[in-house]
Structure 1
Amino acid sequence: RVQVVHSSLPYQILLFLNGWYFAFFFICEVLIFAFKGETLPFADGVLAAEVILVFLMGGVEALRIFFGQKGNLTEQIIGVVISVLLSVPALFGALFLLLWQTYVLRVEVILAGIQIAFIGLQLIFGIISIITFA
């Protein structure tokens, strides 16, 4: 009996690459916030709130990538659905860093833009995977 593999290789590659990229992104953002905290004036509590957001993004992103990889490899719809749903807060976190934080450095525009591109592509491939698995 022949089993057909429905897992998406491009989706898996994107998830793998985004895992490494987000680790780089996270480290860069923490270092950038350390730089901003030392050199730029912030209102009370604003810097702490923005740093907390980066750490929350780290948790959401880790869960999103984990569920996406496991759902794709096991061809289970629920894992990919959770990953697609977690893409929404991940996308808003990256958009916040790109558009709405107190000070946006040029390097952050580049870093957040790449992260948004990863999330957008994974969202598309995740939806395609859900359709394929159904």
Structure 2
Amino acid sequence: QLLLRLTSIYFIVYFLFTLGLLVKKSVLLSYPPDALVYDVALLFLLAALEVLHLLCGVKGNLTESGGYILANIIVTAATILLTVYFLVWQTYVMRADVIISGILLAAYGLDGVLAVSTLARFARWVQLF
């Protein structure tokens, strides 16, 4: 639960910083217009998935529901893929992008591992009863 909250707080910083970097790159570098639209759209998609990630994770932990935890794992996988996009595949990758995306990727990875272990614990608990 604590990791979900910390990841969400860090994501707000990540979102604002990445949006600022996209603005800076579009002003200073010759950014292809279509690529800029895709990068901004993917950043907002990542923000929407982060909201789902938080809601599914919190609801799954509080209700001990395997369905919500499984949804959290699926959304976490999607957020990891989008974070890897911003880490490696966006049009211009700066050192700051690598640092902040690497931290977010590590947080998502740890969150995914804990979600899988929680789902396994819930499944084992259901089998006992």
TM interval, shorter chain, is: over 0.9
Is 1:69 aligned to 2:58, yes or no? yes
Query: Which residue number corresponds to residue 129 of structure 1?
Result: 118
Identity rate of aligned residues, in percent? 32
Query: Which residue number corresponds to residue 78 of structure 1?
Result: 67
Higher helix share: 2
| Runs of 4+ displaced beyond 4 Å | none
- Uncovered stretches (5+) of structure 2, i.e. residues with no partner: 124-129
Query: Which residue number corresponds to residue 104 of structure 2?
Result: 115
Is 1:103 aligned to 2:92, yes or no? yes
Figure out how many residues of one structure are paired with residues of the other and give that number: 123
Query: Which residue number corresponds to residue 21 of structure 2?
Result: 32
Q: Report the Cα distance in structure 1 between the residues aligned to 2:94 and 2:62, rounded to whole angstroms.
A: 38
- Letter in structure 2 aligned against 1:84: I
Query: Which residue number corresponds to residue 94 of structure 1?
Result: 83
Query: Which residue number corresponds to residue 42 of structure 2?
Result: 53
Please list the CA deviations of residues 55-101 of structure 1 after superposition, one character each: whole Å capped at 9, or x if unmatched.
00000111012101110111111111100011111011000001011
Which one scores higher on RCO, CA 8 angstroms, separation ≥ 6?
A: 1
SS of alignment partner, residue 102 of structure 1: coil
The TM-score normalised by the length of structure 2 is: 0.92
